[in-house]
Chain A
């Protein structure tokens, strides 16, 4: 049972434009959300996180938005750069258990120069 879903397996964006990666979750007990970036043959790299007490968190070109009522998370990259081309995973943790992070299946972003 996939509790964190990334329904778009791939996304292509022109350099300089905005990339929007989406993530949906089913568990209302999730209280902490993260985005990771993964290059081929490397482990995922932490990008940005957001707590459920917030609805937005910004770090440079990366902004994560959280819509708790819709159980929806999105990552905005502005402006997109060719080096952003990677697979992006969203992850969530349940408040009570805390140990286990649930990951989506990833979205492969290609930024076209």
Chain B
């Protein structure tokens, strides 16, 4: 079946502009995660959605970052007023539940110039 998909695969934006990154999780997966990986770093947790529960936003680095998940499926990560330090690969993952392994998308490489 189809895996997790993300769009765009690459995004170059100017400092100060807003960007939206999209994630389509595996159908039926109730849990959805966003991570980012900066150069030479491990994956950094950003936000977690589980069903209709309030999301766990504890990993969002600043209030410029927000995410939503519509209808328990597609998720959008929005970064407002992008900064150069936001440059990273943003990865989305979904799973059948919090206690299950995550399936990752290919990521969106964001470059802020």
Contacts and interface: CB of A to CB of B under 8 A. Distances in A.
Contacts, number: 53
A67 interface: no
B4 A100 contact: no
Interface residues of B, number: 25
A103 B43 contact: yes
A99 B42 contact: no
Interface in A47-75: 49
B77 to A, nearest CB: 15
Contact of B40 (A41, A45, A105): A105
B98 A99 contact: yes
Given A100-B48, A105-B42, A43 B107 contact: yes
19 contacts: A6-B42, A34-B101, A36-B104, A43-B91, A43-B107, A44-B43, A46-B101, A46-B102, A49-B101, A91-B43, A99-B50, A100-B56, A100-B58, A101-B43, A102-B42, A103-B35, A105-B40, A105-B41, A106-B42
Interface of A: 2, 4, 6, 32, 34, 36, 41-46, 49, 89, 91, 98-106
Interface string B45-62: 100101000001011000
A98 B103 CA distance: 17
B85 to A, nearest CB: 18
Given A42-B106, A43-B106, A32 B45 contact: no
B70 interface: no
B23 to A, nearest CB: 11
B101 A103 contact: no
Q: 10 tightest CB-CB pairs across the interface, nearest first?
A: A43-B104, A103-B43, A103-B42, A46-B101, A105-B42, A99-B48, A99-B56, A100-B45, A44-B104, A43-B106
Contact of A98 (B41, B99, B101, B104): B99
A49 B33 CA distance: 18
